Structure 1
Amino acid sequence: MAAVSHALDTRARPITGPLRPLEIAIVAILSGLTVVAVVVAAVIPMGQAAGLLAPVPIALIAARTRPRAVVAASVTSTAVTFAVAGLGAALSVLAAAVVGAVVGDVRRRGGGLLMLLLVSLIVAPLLSAVSVLTLWILVPLRKLALEVLENLISGVGKVLVWIGKAITRGLHAAGSEATVSWQGAGDWFAGLGKNIVDYWWLWMLVSGAVGSFLSLLVAWWILHGVVDRLAHIRMQDTLDAEGDLTADEPIEPLPLRMVGVGYRYPDTGVDVLTGIDLTLIQGEFVAVVGANGSGKSTLSKLLAGTPATIGVVDRPGDPGLGRLGGTAMVLQRPEAQMLGSRVADDLVWGLPDDAHVDIDALLEEVGLGGLGERETSDLSGGQQQRLAVAAALARRPKLLIADEVTSMVDPAGRHDLIEILAALPRTRGITVVLITHRDSEARAADRVIHLEGGRIVEHSPEWMRPEEHTPALPAVTPDHDPLLVVHDVSHTYLPGSPWEVTALHHVSLQVNRGDGLLIVGGNGSGKTTLAWIIAGLIEPSGGEVLLHDEPMTDQVGSVGLGFQHARLQLQKTTVSDEIMAVGGESVTTTEVGRVLDLVALPRQIATRRVDSLSGGQMRRVVLASLVAAEPDVLVLDEPLAGLDPGAREEVLDVLAGLRRGGITIIIISHDLEALDRVCNRRVELIDGVLEARR
């Protein structure tokens, strides 16, 4: 019987079943912070204050996820601490976990400080009683702890007596007959120590309850600010399918039919998709196109199994995301999908032990032949995308969803990947859904689904033509004033190891003031390595980079570097905060408005959250931030990757305008002709060797 997903309202569904991958990641990170706080408090002198922070990570888990995740975090953090620091620290972590769980649960249920106070009157004595019971059972530990405590207290008394005698001797030496006796204080401390040992359970019960009560209040106070700060960050993976795979529901993602489907992300008031009607059958190649923010990636998630918030999704069985014979996804950022340290390991990561994969043949198919032993961290962006495609094919999927898989691939590799994807329906019977901005890629598909404003509209290739017919802007004539010199630069990763890779060979280059330099080359040719060396973030193995005749490594920040993925570079919550953080203390609100004008963004966008921006807007905010810092040179790594034609035009206009304003720009890109509007020179890297093109 066909599996049908009905979604008739826009309320978020609670997650059930085992922990999802995102939840596991959250538990691992936040429970680790709890362990660190407790160990710091136990090991570092004067570091006990860190113990007050220990409950906060667990409280955040409790406030933003479900009880199952809280239990997992508590158990794992306690076990890890026991292995690292012993029983005492482990008990401290367990107590912190309980405090955090209580505080977070009160917050999750919408309770306020009054509810927390009422709960604390019950929880604090219970926590204290558990501590007493633990020491009652662990007699050797109790005796040792009490002996240490008694010696400490009596020691304080003896020190006071010694100080009193020293003062008395000093007074007598000065001719005074005054006598100061501190023996009573010493006796009082000795008596206090004995009293605590005799009535340890009462002292611990009272002091433990007070301490637990204070911990609950501190954790509540800190959590309040943390939750508000992170409110915009989702802690639920929208790729999680509803329910779990059972024996009664086999993996069968196709054929698929959507009727009246819409989607709204949790805690938002806007429908990203509306009225989607479509079908997918076995063995077809479908392209999904549309501007940034039109809903393409959201549609891909629904195809992969995310429940719609309204409408009907009909398919024979479970979509089987990531499982053999199910659905495979290759996302826009391939590095986010890499888990193995070696290419061969990453290719089969997560597959059953009995799954047979011809690793060498699969790597050869996607253009990574012979790289099975390479470290995944050494791959270029394009090579990472090829690896992600290979890992998807290793799962022998019936449905393959490829989201902008060619955005970081050189032109030759782009053509090869599209040929591979286009052949899969015929050679393997796989249905391929390709999300793309390129008309040439969309034309290779059997049919095109065009999204506009979250709806399917009639497709017209006209929307893509601006990237192919770009009018040239007036040329910029740079001054012949040497600004940056790359002299005989070579660089080798992991030198002397079996994984040694030489990325650059004796590269020499001069950049004049006002230049627009385009550096092109295939994937793995060393472009990104050269960009990081020019920015001073990597010290080359040989040669040097000079800016104003001074070593670049001594001037980090003088060259502004824009990453391949703009979102990874945006660290603040709002646009204005980001620009001010990068630009420095001298950047005022007026300056924020000025740089926004330079990158053709409206000034009112300054108050927007960076997560609400489109891809093109994010790239322009990065540019605005870099310009605000007043760098001598801008180095931009793939500034047009993943942008729709309209956004590409916007970014190109901005770059051309910045250069006309006198800013020196170096661009690393696979897009050759479009960037001629911005760059007056072009050089090419081939296997780490620089060749001048014009």
Structure 2
Amino acid sequence: MVSKAIDAPTVPTGKLRAREIAAIAIFSGLTVVPAVIVTVVPLAAALGFMTPVPVALLAARTRLRAVTAAIVTTVSVTFVIAGLGAAFGVLASVVMGGLVGEVHRRGGRGVAMFVMSLIAAPILAGLSVVLMWVLVPLRKLALEILDNVLTGIAKTARAVKLDAVGDAMDALARNVVENWWLWMWIPGIVGSLIALWIAAWLLSKVLDRLDEVPLEDTLEVAGIVDGDLPVAPLPLRMAGVGYTYPGIDRQVMFGIDLTLSSGEFVAIVGANGSGKSTLSKLLSGVEPTIGIVDRPGAPGLGKQGGTALVLQRPEAQMLGARVADDLVWGLPVGTEVDVDGLLEEVGLAGLGDRETTDLSGGQQQRLAVAAALARDPQLLIADEVTSMVDPVGRAELISILAELPRRRAITVVLITHRDSEARAADRVIHLEAGRVVEHHPEWMRPEAGSAPLRQLHDEDGRALLVVRDLHHVYLEGSPWEVTGLKSVNMQVNEGDGLLIVGGNGSGKSTLAWILAGLTKPTSGSVLLKGEPTYDHVGDVGLGFQHARLQLQKATVADEIMAVGGIEVGTTEVGRVLDLVALPREIAARRVDALSGGQMRRVVLASLIASDPDLLVLDEPLAGLDPQAREEVIGVLAGLREQGATIIIISHDLEALDRVCNRRLELVDGVLEGGL
């Protein structure tokens, strides 16, 4: 099969795609929840104005088929949970939302939205009339109740000598019963107009916040179309391949010539931003904007016997609630999978019944690899799959991947920053600025060992953070109870640099969130300057494992000012950028245009601007190329020299003795070496 260049992304056609189904589930749930609350809690009626917004947002970003599916799903679920009345109310709301979103998607604002409302409101109100016309018993019951209410008011008025009011109520009761459709239609029009205008206003506010957030999946936008071709991704040949992302003028890949044969282990290396992830998308089936990709059949991304792609962020690929469910998610009915065998193969033996949310970052990555193997792919692309795995697990996982070509005849493409991992491959493809260059084994300095850090700790120093008898249990008292931490004791003095290490699942990330006050421990105390951290959220700055998840604003300057507080101005933005070794010009750049190392430093700059008492950094070196890793370490060392107190949670021991003066180890939730 020869892949030609495409000029622009096409609108999805045919059956709903996985991403669309996920969006339908999410937005339908966001609609059902307030609708049910309104039904159960009458005082929460104001929430009813929110019900059109989720579907409106979906309609503004996707096609009509997905919106229709969302409407059917939402109404069906509401009917099952809350009955016919609530389902009918939700139907009217989601149809309103769909109309508002469709007008917005087509560029309609102001006048267009107003005209649409004037047309749609009588139709929506008319649906209520039609429904009541069909449901005769319900109509009779509703009119009888209304007649009794008005007649009762009339009798009460006459009892207090207000005969005129009583006569008026009797006349109104007769008119309503005789012309019920008119009394239902006119107020319905007014109510529909109000709901449409509120939904349009709320949607405009939401979309204004999301305008800078790209919601497209580049794998889908670029168009992976298998058609009727049989799944056969290999052998593969690229000739003169280049790529430009939709909506961006700058070309990111240039003149790529390479081949992939069955049963080989290939490593792709290069600095952050060199084009490694883009090349993985092209190998997965994304059409190039120039050049030729030749393969015997369809790439079959995610299909049995096709191409499997394991991403840098494994949580983005988890769909099942349990490990065993996630492993087989999306496979055709009747597909036989050795779940226990696959879990054992990737080091997750015995965890089939564990909740996926209870897994550590490294365990999630192993699960993603196992799920890929469940599809028995011909081509497996692993994008930085070891970045969140401890050193022992990292070696085991690389060994597993290296054995797949021989044991299963799977071609494995490993994207990595680690020279030790690249050396395990049959050959190495080195990318630089979107081009394939000659690979030099010495492109990165040899990785340092895990020599012990200097165990310097001033017992008489001024205690900043004190942890005593810390114990934390997830889902305590339930059948799924999991102990994350037990009997953790430690003291961190002002100016300390502490490295906390441990295997996957040892409790490192749980400890980080508790230290930052974002999670309240089950028992024990975590005191910052004598006060519980959960009562002073923000006094401890937490850097997440995945820096991109922490960047919420469109530009670097906006991010720093938002985290640092309203008093932070242009001068302060420049100052913190200097501290993290970023040029001041980067302040105007969009966060999505940053490399991984730059994102981590922007997060650091934002945290510094907020002036925390303590920095807790969870895996700050994960996924960084050697140069970016060295830059981040240099920044952290500089902060320590200026008196900052830093706790680093990491698998990477390389050169961290420049930042940390002591090291503690978590083993199965127990901190060894603590006070």
- TM-score of the superposed pair, with normalisation by structure 2: 0.91
Matched with 1:657 is: 638
Q: Which moved more, 1:82-91 or 1:549-558?
A: 549-558
SS at match of 1:656: helix
Matched with 2:267 is: 287
- Counterpart Cα distance in 2 of 1:207 and 1:493: 51
- Counterpart Cα distance in 2 of 1:387 and 1:546: 36
Deviation (angstroms), 1:462: 4.3
Q: Does 1:34 align with 2:26?
A: no
**Correspondence 1:604-623 to 2 at 5 A:** 604-623=585-604
Deviation (angstroms), 1:575: 3.0
Deviation (angstroms), 1:186: 4.6
The one-letter code matched in structure 2 to 1:256 is L
Matched with 1:638 is: 619
1:267 corresponds to which of 234, 247, 251 = 247
Matched with 1:131 is: 128
Deviation (angstroms), 1:190: 4.0
1:532 corresponds to which of 498, 510, 513 = 513
- Counterpart Cα distance in 2 of 1:268 and 1:449: 26
Matched with 1:412 is: 392
Deviation (angstroms), 1:42: 4.6
- Counterpart Cα distance in 2 of 1:542 and 1:115: 58
Deviation (angstroms), 1:156: 6.4
Q: Deviations over 1:110-167 (max 9, x none)?
A: 34444444444443333233322221121121122233344555666778888xx6xx
- 8 Å CA contact retained: 2:465, 2:526: yes
2:4 corresponds to which of 3, 6, 9 = 6
- 8 Å CA contact retained: 1:520, 1:669: yes
Q: Does 1:202 align with 2:182?
A: yes
- 8 Å CA contact retained: 1:260, 1:311: yes
Matched with 1:178 is: none
- Counterpart Cα distance in 2 of 1:133 and 1:503: 57
- 8 Å CA contact retained: 1:475, 1:677: no
Matched with 1:88 is: 85
**Correspondence 1:219-618 to 2 at 5 A:** 219-240=199-220, 242=223, 248-465=228-445, 480-495=461-476, 499-618=480-599
- 8 Å CA contact retained: 2:58, 2:101: yes
- Counterpart Cα distance in 2 of 1:690 and 1:114: 64
- Counterpart Cα distance in 1 of 2:101 and 2:615: 45
- Counterpart Cα distance in 2 of 1:80 and 1:496: 30
- 8 Å CA contact retained: 2:362, 2:504: yes
Deviation (angstroms), 1:237: 2.4
The one-letter code matched in structure 2 to 1:597 is D
- Counterpart Cα distance in 1 of 2:424 and 2:674: 31
- Counterpart Cα distance in 1 of 2:380 and 2:52: 42
Matched with 1:647 is: 628
Matched with 1:103 is: 100
Q: Which moved more, 1:508-517 or 1:581-590?
A: 581-590
- Counterpart Cα distance in 1 of 2:523 and 2:201: 53
Q: Which runs of 5+ in 1 are unaligned?
A: 166-180
- Counterpart Cα distance in 2 of 1:53 and 1:569: 27
SS at match of 1:15: coil
- 8 Å CA contact retained: 1:325, 1:396: yes
SS at match of 2:445: helix
- 8 Å CA contact retained: 1:23, 1:236: no
Q: Deviations over 1:493-549 (max 9, x none)?
A: 445555444443433222111010111122222222332332333444454333223
Between Structure 1 and Structure 2, how many residues are aligned?
671
* Distance verdict in 2 for CA 1:262–1:481, change over 3 Å: same
- Counterpart Cα distance in 2 of 1:461 and 1:375: 41
Q: Deviations over 1:306-335 (max 9, x none)?
A: 233333222111212222211111111112
Matched with 1:170 is: none
The one-letter code matched in structure 2 to 1:282 is S
SS at match of 1:465: coil
- Counterpart Cα distance in 1 of 2:488 and 2:239: 57
Matched with 1:60 is: 57
Q: Does 1:673 align with 2:654?
A: yes
Identity %: 67
* Distance verdict in 2 for CA 1:693–1:455, change over 3 Å: farther
Deviation (angstroms), 1:249: 1.7
Deviation (angstroms), 1:468: 5.6
CA RMSD of aligned residues (A): 3.0
* Distance verdict in 2 for CA 1:106–1:501, change over 3 Å: closer
- 8 Å CA contact retained: 1:401, 1:434: yes
Q: Which moved more, 1:655-664 or 1:481-490?
A: 481-490
Matched with 1:171 is: none
- Counterpart Cα distance in 1 of 2:350 and 2:56: 48
- TM-score of the superposed pair, with normalisation by structure 1: 0.89
The one-letter code matched in structure 2 to 1:91 is F
- Counterpart Cα distance in 2 of 1:44 and 1:498: 31
| Higher-Rg member (1/2) | 1
* Distance verdict in 2 for CA 1:228–1:266, change over 3 Å: farther
Q: Which runs of 5+ in 2 are unaligned?
A: none
Deviation (angstroms), 1:32: 2.6
- Counterpart Cα distance in 2 of 1:405 and 1:451: 18
SS at match of 1:371: coil
* Distance verdict in 2 for CA 1:420–1:475, change over 3 Å: closer
Q: Which moved more, 1:459-468 or 1:553-562?
A: 459-468
The one-letter code matched in structure 1 to 2:375 is R
Q: Deviations over 1:390-444 (max 9, x none)?
A: 2212221110000001101111221121121112112211111111111111122
- 8 Å CA contact retained: 1:518, 1:681: yes
